[in-house]
A and B are shown apart, each in its own frame.
Chain A
Amino acid sequence: MDLLNALVTLLNFVIIPATAYGAQLALGALGVTLIYGILRFSNFAHGDTMAFGTMVVILCTWALQGAGITLGPLPTALLALPIGIAVTGLLVVGTDKMVYRFYRRQKAKPVIYVIASLGVMFILNGIVRFIIGVDDQRFADGERFIISAGTFRDMTGLEEGLAFRTSQGLTIVVALIAMALLFWFLNRTRTGKSMRAFSDNEDLALLSGINPERVVMITWLIVAALATTAGVLYGLDKSFKPFTYFQLLLPIFASAIVGGLGNPVGAILGGFLIAFSEVGVTYAFRKVVAYILPESMEPSGLLQLLSTDYKFAVSFGILLIVLLFKPTGIMKGKSV
């Protein structure tokens, strides 16, 4: 019985939240890794692209709610998501035309793009704060729980409750669908294969008649979809705040790099690795251990490796370790 209680506690406070967070990071890291693979630079504006997309979705959600349209038990934001993706798509393609295309024509070195993306980041940062403000915004509606702690306790008779929130379930389902679609697109369709070809060998892609501008545009559109989806899922799960999204850049980059930059499978693995490490290292395991060990051996401390304030240190630490010992990441991406 106690073992079950320990397991439920672990599920409730570590495994479920980390899986949801991991899925969000993975979606974010997929966007970063695609840009890196095809446009060959690390897009520092990615966090703010997520924030922009989420902002559009929030505004649409409010409008829909105002008009009395909801999705019943599901969050209305799902209905607004396609609009958010479309607007963000316009934004990133517009940014590409206004900023990055110029550097492509100059055959600029990748580091120039990185710096340019830093500029784009500041501008997006400003736009988002100007439109929606710097405060926390909650936009989740519909049913809050798939299983609430109370229901679970009544159902199982266990001491510990297990809460499975709608946003967590939704995150996992939507992320799985998005990843399946992405891999199907990259591995099965002509356009997807041409993107991989371009990422692999730009010159030969050109000699094969693949149009670089088209590849780049489709990449941006996919990235807009991934970034908006990731941002909305994160916002539903936690809350939306522009600064938080900017900070997400670190775990997202860590995920992409740990997995191997330019490698989509790696980005997903990396996302979950970072999420589980972050949640695992900052969780106080006292309760779990207390269930397993006999009473006499009950730990006196919290059994928490790091306070949650230091969660960014986890991504950073993992990043450093990977860069030192396996610079190509787990899944052998491009060397960094």
Chain B
Amino acid sequence: MSDNPYQNDRGNKDWSIAKQGGGTLTASPGTGHAMNTRDAFLIGDSMTGGYGGGPDILHECTIAVNPGEITVIVGPNGAGKSTAMKAVFGMLNVRQGSVRLDGEDITDLSPQDRVGCGMGFVPQTNNIFTSMTVEENLEMGAFIRRDDIRGTMEQVYELFPILKDKRRQPAGELSGGQRQQVAVGRALMTQPKVLMLDEPTAGVSPIVMDELFDRIIEVSRTGIPILMVEQNARQALAIADRGYVLVQGRNAHTGTGKELLADPEVRRSFLGG
């Protein structure tokens, strides 16, 4: 039965030297990496699933963000980071696991309903309306709102002053960094309770990247928890309260940003030494 040689009782019939009926239950050794999900404001909990009827891309993957914190997801290309974000936003067939927002189970809500619940999402690609002006992009971000949106728009312009100068320009004519600002601004227009960003600094220069990180920290300071996927793992983990390293759709390493940066194995495999 058991392949543990120490548990092999073969041939022993002498109950005078060995008493029958010891305990059979064993204490769990634990997974070795505590997920600390008790305080999570938004959590995708042990999600397993894939696209349509295709194979599973995520395997028991958990990602979470605590109130007021920044969580960063890093990992190699194709690890399933974007897929995990989509799963949390309700755009994936999650076959197991659950998604909870502020303690409520929202696993069965449609993406639109999740927007209504206060989730804002900036996808990795096609995240702006290219043929519409910057201002119209922001207006469309606020589509579900029926109240006055001018105040929020002013806040977005304060956060990204360049957008105010370009507000009558089609968003498709802007530079990469400005487009990402439009994308983040659009998501902020619903006044979300949590913001999800998929590679907000993809394809921008290092200077613009630092600038964008500063802005993201600024957003986080206003109390909005941020769940973010990043290619630039080192810089991102430096500003992260929590970090997840995903490999092949699984949680490989979890910890605070500092812990992961200090972890020799993470450094060797994902941060280039």
Interface residues of A (CB under 8 A from B): 190, 193-194, 196-197, 199-201, 203-211
Contact = CB atoms under 8 A, between A and B. Distances in A.
A207 B121 contact: yes
B115 A209 contact: yes
Contact of A193 (B112, B127, B132): B132
Contact of B131 (A190, A200, A205): A200
B76 to A, nearest CB: 25
Contacts of A208: 115, 140-141, 143-144, 186
Interface in B110-148: 111-112, 115-116, 121, 123, 126-132, 136, 139-141, 143-144
Interface string B242-259: 000000000000000000
Contacts of B129: 196-197, 200-201, 204-205
Contacts of A203: 123, 126
Main secondary structure of the interface of A (DSSP, over half): helix
B116 A193 contact: no
A194 B140 contact: yes
A200 B132 contact: yes
A209 B126 contact: no
A196 B143 contact: no
A205 B127 CA distance: 10
B127 A204 contact: yes
7 contacts: A193-B139, A194-B140, A197-B140, A200-B132, A207-B115, A208-B140, A209-B144
Interface of B: 89, 111-112, 115-116, 121, 123, 126-132, 136, 139-141, 143-144, 186, 190
Contacts of A204: 123, 126-129
A203 B115 CA distance: 13
B112 A206 contact: yes
A201 B126 contact: yes
B102 to A, nearest CB: 19
Given A197-B129, A199-B131, A200-B132, 11 more contacts: A193-B136, A194-B140, A194-B143, A196-B129, A197-B132, A201-B129, A204-B126, A204-B129, A207-B123, A208-B141, A209-B112
A199 B132 CA distance: 11
Contact of B143 (A200, A201, A210): A210
A205 B126 contact: no
Contacts of B130: 200-201
Contacts of B112: 206-207, 209, 211
A190 B143 contact: yes
Nearest to B112: A209
Contacts of A190: 139, 143
Contacts of A194: 140, 143
Contacts of B115: 207-209
Contacts of A207: 89, 111-112, 115, 121, 123
B213 to A, nearest CB: 23
Given A203-B123, A203-B126, A209 B143 contact: yes
A190 B89 CA distance: 25
Contacts of A206: 111-112
A204 B179 CA distance: 14
Contact of B116 (A196, A200, A205, A209): A209
A163 B123 CA distance: 60
